[in-house]
Structure 1
Amino acid sequence: MTKKALITGITGQDGSYLAELLLDKGYEVHGLVRRASTSTLERVAHLTGNPGLRLHHGDLTEGSRLTALLHRIQPDEVYHLAAQTDVRASFDQPEFTGDVTGMGTTRILEAIRLIGLDSRVYQASSSEMFGASPPPQSERTPFWPRSPYGAAKTYAYWVARNYREAHGLFVANGIMFNHESPRRGKEFVTRKITHAVAQIKAGHDRKLYLGNLDAVRDWGYAKEYVEAMWLMLQAEEPSDYVVATGTAYTVREFAEQAFGHVGLEWQRYVRFDDRHLRPTEVDSLIGDASKAAVELGWKPKTRMPELASLMVDEDLRAVIAQRAE
């Protein structure tokens, strides 16, 4: 019997890779798409001809719509990825971030409970929940969020735990450390860097403005991380897992790798701009994913240098393709 999965946030980086993975495994995949004035389907456009993919309009702020969709689809698995994910923007839109990123999770879980679905649920948690807690961070590390986004994700984590413990729902929290790809939005620092490298190499731009170059992050490949999401819902019992590489690099080192990949010296092009600083910074996030390795058999394959290079290559291909048009 064909399994059904619902992915909220299917048009995002993780959602698009997860949809590919599930379709390859023979799932019938349903995706929640938020209505917008411009098309948001770019990342899943190559999948829209697949008969196994079905898209539905909906919004995390609209509980009645979520309940109706879940009742109609009757998914075996729900991957809740949708959120307001821009950490810097969460300082400017704290109420919106709390409503979508935090309460949106409650609406999904409450709908599943009210309908009585036997769905397995993946809840996308974030390393930003750890914030100021010193690394390495594991499932046992106390949360200390340093942004409205981190606080909203912390709420979503605990409400997921509560629905698991109070109502018996199969809910797994995946505490994802930074994971990137050529499909990452250009508002995120890694893609901002690789896109700028391609533009500068092509002669279109001359400078790149960044904020905190000393921030330390644990960067992995999003395409590998969605496999961990799937594995969490195949386990016998639900639990919570850190997903990370265990390696640490600064934003400066990422920029050095990206520029160096095309033979450029990063210092000639990168400039500091305090407008990109957060009111409260998160200095160092480095994950310990040993639990995922032991219980799920998941291990990362791609580290930052290879990741930065493949992202630059893809952005360069996009520049070349635009020239040819």
Structure 2
Amino acid sequence: MKHKMLAWLYTINYREAYGIFACNGILFNHESPRRGENFVTRKITRAVARIKIGLQRKLFLGNLHASRDWGFAGDYVEAMWLMLQQEKPDDYVVATEESHTVEEFIEKAFVCVGLNWKDHVVIDKQYFRPAEVDNLKGDSSKARKVLGWKPKVGFEQLVKMMVDEDVQLAKREKVLVDAGYMDVSLDIDLV
């Protein structure tokens, strides 16, 4: 967090001191099928797909009540591009202005594959964060007003996009498992 704040201040300093066209963007959680598996959203979609295909049985998670402002990374890239098209550099918050719990994300993800999440999710205390922030939600009103930006991909569409991509990946993995080229433990925890 210190590095992000320092980068923010450096950007403002260089912009003001040297007249460099530089913008800051505070991007709330930007998700896509390319998201790393160490992030909860991708951990969920990977597990949902593997459970559906038969490569995994359980998904181990911590706090299901944490709430986040999740948006599609592609929409956020568009916002960054719009920042760079302005006459003057400035700083913006990019967010959907919606907040959804981890539980909501799980429920939507399992619905995509026709399964009940309660049959597969295990709460494990080791995944609770000691300094959890209960709710993160951004105010992107400046980006909406100045840049004319708004997200195009909604929450449910984002979850479905990620699950669909991971189902295709799990199907490819299943071919390798069935052919003996890949080992799999049905109770693995991806993170």
Decide: shared fold, TM above 0.5: yes
Residue 159 of structure 2 corresponds to which residue in structure 1?
A: 308
Q: 2:106 aligns with which of 246, 249, 255?
A: 255
Structure 1 unaligned spans of 5+: 1-149
Task: Please report how far the alpha carbon of residue 289 of structure 1 lies from its aligned counterpart in structure 2 after TM superposition.
Answer: 1.1
Instruction: Indicate how the Cα distance of structure 1 residues 273 and 152 shifts in structure 2: closer, same or farther if over 3 A, else same.
Output: farther
Task: Please report how far the alpha carbon of residue 279 of structure 1 lies from its aligned counterpart in structure 2 after TM superposition.
Answer: 2.7
Q: TM-score, normalised by structure 2?
A: 0.87
**1:231-283 deviations in whole A, cap 9, x for unaligned?**
11111001111111111100010001001111111111111222222231121
Task: Please report how far the alpha carbon of residue 154 of structure 1 lies from its aligned counterpart in structure 2 after TM superposition.
Answer: 1.6
Partner SS state of residue 246, structure 1: coil
Q: 1:317 aligns with which of 164, 168, 176?
A: 168
CA–CA distance in structure 1, aligned partners of residues 124 and 26 of structure 2: 30
Task: Please report how far the alpha carbon of residue 324 of structure 1 lies from its aligned counterpart in structure 2 after TM superposition.
Answer: 4.3
Residue 127 of structure 2 corresponds to which residue in structure 1?
A: 276
Task: Please report how far the alpha carbon of residue 166 of structure 1 lies from its aligned counterpart in structure 2 after TM superposition.
Answer: 2.2
Contact 1:219 1:303 in 2 (8 A): no
Q: Percent identity?
A: 57
Taking only aligned residues, the RMSD between alpha carbons, in angstroms, comes to: 1.3
Residue 172 of structure 1 corresponds to which residue in structure 2?
A: 23
Matched, 1:291 2:136: no
Matched, 1:236 2:90: no
CA–CA distance in structure 2, aligned partners of residues 157 and 215 of structure 1: 26
Paired positions, count: 176
CA–CA distance in structure 2, aligned partners of residues 266 and 246 of structure 1: 26
Matched, 1:184 2:72: no
Structure 2 unaligned spans of 5+: 177-191
Bigger relative contact order (CA 8 A; separation at least 6): 2
CA–CA distance in structure 1, aligned partners of residues 171 and 151 of structure 2: 31
CA–CA distance in structure 2, aligned partners of residues 212 and 240 of structure 1: 32
CA–CA distance in structure 1, aligned partners of residues 154 and 2 of structure 2: 28
Contact 1:199 1:319 in 2 (8 A): yes
Q: Residues 1-325 of structure 1 correspond to what in structure 2 (within 5 A)? A: 150-324=1-175
Higher strand proportion (structure 1 or 2): 1
Task: Please report how far the alpha carbon of residue 189 of structure 1 lies from its aligned counterpart in structure 2 after TM superposition.
Answer: 0.4
